[in-house]
A and B are shown apart, each in its own frame.
Chain A
Amino acid sequence: MTDAASTAPTAASSTAPAEDMVWESRGRRMVTIYLPLICFVIILLFPFYWMGITAFKPNAELYDYKTYNPFLIGSPTLDHIYKLLFQTSYPKWLMTTMGVAVCSTFLSLLSSVLAAYAIQRLRFRGSQYVGLGIYLAYLVPPSILFIPLATTVYQLGLFDTPLALILTYPTFLVPFCTWLLIGYFKSIPYELEECALIDGATRLQILRRITLPLAVPGLISAGIFSFTLSWNEFIYSLAFIQSSEKKTVPVAILTELVSGDVYQWGSLMAGSLLGSLPVAIFYSFFVDYYVSSLTGAVKE
């Protein structure tokens, strides 16, 4: 135990930030680092724990804190999830959300790859300004757009169709993806493309055979990020979709499941849990890509 403690700092000191080199006692380190960190983790995770535990609690336990300990489940039940899956159109909402998220992600990836390639590699006069314009588009929040966008969608005859969402989500996905991909394309040596040009490849061949394969990590980052953003989108879906069966999960839970004066917390939380799971699972596979796209977009 003492051996491990004494060898660990010397091994780590070459890579660790300098602050670790200050001599700190175990107790002091406990209070200044681990204790706040544990508090942070508990607070950040508690709502999910509470969501999960509510989803599996029978109603009798849910509303009786005196006889049952509210932090634990006495007899877990699948009633709420069963009710959700077979007595509401929840599976349909899930399918709609999935379809919309996949289509809009694909659409925005396609257009932002081309745009980023044009801006970063086909350098033309004013390409910087086009880049800047796309960056500014990212700063326009959906909350100031949804009213006029609702009229636009109505004029185009897309109101209350999934296509309205598929076409409007790219307004916040394309700027983000383009910006991220410009950064990735920048990191690919231009000499590779020059070689291909000398060998007689056309511009599109270069994009397809050389630039894109090298930019795969960037594409994955942009793709999963767009998927998450479209899965989580709320305001457009609330404003443009009216019929109950075409709604996306976040909107449907709030407008269809919250009804009357008595809230069915069990099924509400089960719905939230199921609606969060796809992105959470997706996230657990690609954590590093998320972090790199999050920080990459900020750094650029």
Chain B
Amino acid sequence: MTVATMTDWNRTRIQQGRLARLFDNKAFLIFMCLLPAMGLLTVFLTYPLGLGIWLSFTDTKIGRTGKWIGFENFEYLLEDPQFWTAVFYSVFYTAVATFGKFALGLWLALLLNRHLPLKNLLRAIILLPWIVPTVLSALAFWWIYDPQFSIISYFATDVLGVREKPFDFLSTTWPARWSLIAANIWRGIPFVAISLLAGLQTISPSLYEAALLDGSTAWQRFRYITFPLLLPILAIVMTFSIIFTFTDFQLVYAITRGGPINSTHLMATLAFQRGIAGGELGEGAAIAVAMIPFLVFATLFSYFALARRKWQQGEAND
């Protein structure tokens, strides 16, 4: 009896096989587990990032390998007014759109944090602009901004009667710039509102109770309780928002393609126009590389300026 069980035991041990034992080796297992993710990210992210920096120092064109030309691409861009317009508009677009998104998103989050009927349904509806493909909602905006059949113009001229002529959304520089910013804010509000709502829900109600007993006003409660406790999550959401607004491509490409007269080019769309559509890969890569310092600066700024508060308050968790 005992012998039989002994042999059984041995047999099952052997059946595990060399492969199974190899997978039980921790070092090998770690290697195998990290291989797919690391492989994909190295080949399609790290390598292209390096390649992009290299390309920006060459005169590569589509179908022709380039030669090293040093800083020539950047020197050319420094004297290119179109590049500077794109830099200016990228910064302006990011600053105004981020401000708008966070002001309106925070307001919406505060409204949603109240006790409301149908709260879950509301939350689901509000996230919709963020779920739908950007290009497709951008097309809807393009149609809303139509010079002749814009519904906003119709509303202003025929329903309210406050204007004589239809609005001219996209055919002159500044109106086109503001129209794009409005579309970007529209798309960004849900993300900000829902993320900040999650942050608001972690704030303990007892803090508000204590403040109420001390006779605080609504503004004081927001200023001294809500805002400081929201800062860590605000910093992270803002970092993401700034990065993805600054490098935005879809909205501009879908609505104006950089026009009128190249005045609404963001750096990303300009890089696409020069690099892929125009075939000047080297120059396009140089424009893309020129975005990196802005991104690093924005990340560091929003991270350190805002998240710094976290350790000042001495909060270990979260």
Question: Considering residues B35, B128, B253, B299, which has the most beta carbons from chain A within 10 angstroms of its beta carbon?
Answer: B128
Q: A147-B284, A298-B195 are in contact. Are A275 and B55 (CB under 8 A)?
A: no
B132 touching A279, Cβ below 8 Å: yes
Looking across the interface, which residue of chain B has its beta carbon closest to that of A37?
B111
Q: Cβ of B149 and Cβ of A149 under 8 Å apart?
A: no
A1 at interface (Cβ–Cβ under 8 A)? no
A295 touches which one: B146, B194, B207, B272 (CB < 8 A)? B194
Do residues B52 and A145 form an inter-chain contact, with CB atoms below 8 A? yes
Given contacts A19-B218, A47-B144, A231-B133, contact A148 B48 (CB under 8 A): yes
Nearest A residue to B110 via CB reads A19
The reply to whether the CB of A294 lies closer than 8 angstroms to some CB of chain B is yes
Is there an interface contact between B20 and A202, defined as CB atoms closer than 8 Å? yes
If the complex has contacts A143-B249, A239-B272, are A50 and B135 also in contact, measured as CB distance less than 8 A?
Answer: no
**Does B108 interact with chain A (Cβ within 8 Å)?**
yes
Give min CB distance, B254 to chain A, whole Å. 6
Cβ of B122 under 8 Å from chain A? yes
Known: A145-B48, A148-B52. A137 touches B41 (CB 8 A): yes
Q: Any chain B CB within 8 A of the CB of A268?
A: yes
Interface flag for A72 (CB, 8 Å): no
A60 on interface, CB distance cutoff 8 Å: no
> Is B37 interfacial (CB-CB < 8 Å)?
yes
What is the size, in residues, of chain A's interface with B at 8 Å between Cβ atoms?
Answer: 94
A82 at the interface (CB under 8 A from B): no
Say whether B205 contacts A18, CB under 8 Å: yes
Evaluate contact between A299 and B233: CB separation under 8 angstroms. yes
The count of chain B contact residues (Cβ–Cβ below 8 Å) is 109
* With A19-B114, A44-B129 as contacts: A294 and B23 at CB distance below 8 Å: no
Cross-chain contact B30 with A139 (CB below 8 angstroms): no
Bound complex: CA A297 to CA B127 (Å) = 16
A21: contacting residue among B158, B189, B198, B212, CB under 8 A = B212
Chain B residues contacting A231 (CB-CB under 8 Å) are: 133
Instruction: Scan A24-58; emit 1 where CB is below 8 A from any B CB, else 0.
Output: 00000000010011001101110110110010000
For residue A88, which residues in chain B have a CB less than 8 angstroms away from its CB? none
- Does B49 interact with chain A (Cβ within 8 Å)? yes
User: B216-241: which have CB < 8 Å to A?
Assistant: 218, 221, 233, 236-237, 239-240
User: Are A287 and B41 neighbours in the complex by a CB distance under 8 Å?
Assistant: no
In contact, B111 and A144 (Cβ under 8 angstroms): no
Binds B, one of A73-81, A167-175, A186-194, A215-223: A167-175
Residues of A within 8 A of B41 (CB): 134, 137, 170-171, 174-175
Find chain A residues with CB under 8 A from B23 CB: 202-204
Tell me if A250 is interfacial: C-beta within 8 Å of chain B.
yes
Are B189 and A44 in contact, with the CB atoms below 8 A?
yes
List chain A residues, Cβ under 8 A from B288: 143-147
B140-152 vs A, Cβ < 8 Å mask (1 yes, 0 no): 1101101001010
Task: Please state if B140 and A48 are interface contacts (CB–CB under 8 Å).
Answer: yes
Instruction: With both chains docked as a complex, state the minimum distance between the C-beta of B180 and any C-beta of chain A, in angstroms.
Output: 14
Are A170 and B126 in touch, CB under 8 angstroms? no
Is A95 in the interface zone, CB < 8 Å from B?
no
A98 near B: Cβ within 8 Å?
no
Complex alpha-carbon distance, A47 and B189, angstroms: 14
